[in-house]
Amino acid sequence: MTVVSVLLWPLPKGIFGYPITMSEGVGMLVLLGLAAYRCRGWQIAVAVLMTFGATYSDYLREPFDLGPSTPLLAVVAGLAPGLYLRWRRAERTADVERVRAAERLAIARDLHDVVAHEVTGIVVQTQALRHIAERDPGAVRAALPEIEAAGTRALESMRGMVTRLRDPGEAPLAPGPAEGLDALAAPAAPGRPEVAVHVSGPVAELPPEVGTAVLRIAQESVTNALRYARGATRVSVVVTAQEREVELRVQDDGRGAGIPVGGGHGLVGMAERARLLGGDLTAGPDGVGQGWTVRGTIPAQRGGEDRG
């Protein structure tokens, strides 16, 4: 537009001269908006200066004084839509990053809970069999099918997660809470305590997010008991689903902290799961040398109220 003004400057202007046309003004505003939307800061500054120059070049077309408000209004009108769209794009990018971070955290939790539970059972039994293999070969043969089954379950869980990542919604990330809790039960074996599970109430009817949280907390608690409760003979899992809340208690009779000495992500993940659903979770010993207990309470109606 400035070039056109320079070319028109020597021509006879008459009374009205050669005012800026609608197409020139709209084109200038569109270019300024695109610069505000897509360009860097210094490029936007250059575009603003060029807009001021193009607007003031109108003096070369028609002999009228141009006040400072007109170029400023043109700059604001051009920048506003582009800056707004830029802000909206930044908001969408931030939302996507937040969703991705939440998905990564959820995947990390599920990998830790599902796979660690099964692999821990394999490791515990293998360590016990290493000490009794020479004295009791029959115990080795009896334990091998259970180790193989645990490895198969871990592999199936991994495959399910991979399928879920590739095709979201087609493969469940975890079994239902009732089936998953029943699968935790296991008889006593050499070097491995009995895991007893007692479930009461409509656990199968819990909202998906609540049922998954209960299952994952129970799995992680049992995993910790198998790993760190020395001399335990029994791990008890009690889940009670009521109308308003779900109560969970996992208790062992062993010696030890029930969690790794240096801390770990398991207990933190369990507490986060309960807190995100409006519940709470505590973990600690019942007394000196009396084992470790994990207690949790999660509202049962959160998902149902959301659906309603």
**CATH label of the domain that carries residue 197:** 3.30.565.10
Residue 23: CA count within 13 A, CB half-sphere: 1
For 85-110, the pLDDT digits (tens) are 889 888 888 887 887 777 677 667 66
pLDDT band at 56 (very low <50, low <70, confident <90, very high): low
Percent of the chain clearing pLDDT 90 (strictly above): 10
Q: Do 232 and 209 share a domain, yes or no?
A: yes
pTM (2 d.p.): 0.48
Q: Rounded mean pLDDT of 146-153? A: 75
Domain boundary among 69, 93, 117: 93
Q: Give pLDDT, residue 37.
A: 85
Q: Do 235 and 293 share a domain, yes or no?
A: yes
Q: Give pLDDT, residue 44.
A: 83
Q: Do 51 and 140 share a domain, yes or no?
A: no
Q: Do 127 and 213 share a domain, yes or no?
A: yes
For 121-142, the pLDDT digits (tens) are 777 778 777 777 777 777 777 7
Q: What is the mean pLDDT of the chain?
A: 75
- Total Cβ atoms within 10 A of residue 295: 16
Domain boundary among 93, 119, 135: 93
Q: Do 251 and 273 share a domain, yes or no?
A: yes
Q: Do 51 and 87 share a domain, yes or no?
A: yes
Domain boundary among 93, 108, 131: 93
Judge contact between 211 and 171, C-beta under 8 A: no
Distance CA 177, CA 218 (A): 10
Q: Give pLDDT, residue 262.
A: 44
- Bridge-based pairing state of the strands 292-299 and 245-252: antiparallel
Q: Closest Cα partner for 1 from 12, 17, 21?
A: 21
Q: Rounded mean pLDDT of 150-171? A: 62
Q: Do 145 and 169 share a domain, yes or no?
A: yes
Q: In terms of residue numbers, what domain contains 70?
A: 2-93
220 has a pLDDT exceeding 70:
yes
Distance CA 146, CA 130 (A): 15
Distance CA 116, CA 56 (A): 71
Percent of the chain clearing pLDDT 70 (strictly above): 69
52 has a pLDDT exceeding 60:
yes
Domain count, the chain: 2
Q: Rounded mean pLDDT of 272-292? A: 81
Q: Do 211 and 168 share a domain, yes or no?
A: yes
Q: Rounded mean pLDDT of 211-215? A: 87
Q: Do 25 and 128 share a domain, yes or no?
A: no
Q: Do 65 and 149 share a domain, yes or no?
A: no
pLDDT band at 172 (very low <50, low <70, confident <90, very high): very low
Q: Do 14 and 162 share a domain, yes or no?
A: no
Q: Do 81 and 182 share a domain, yes or no?
A: no
Distance CA 25, CA 27 (A): 5
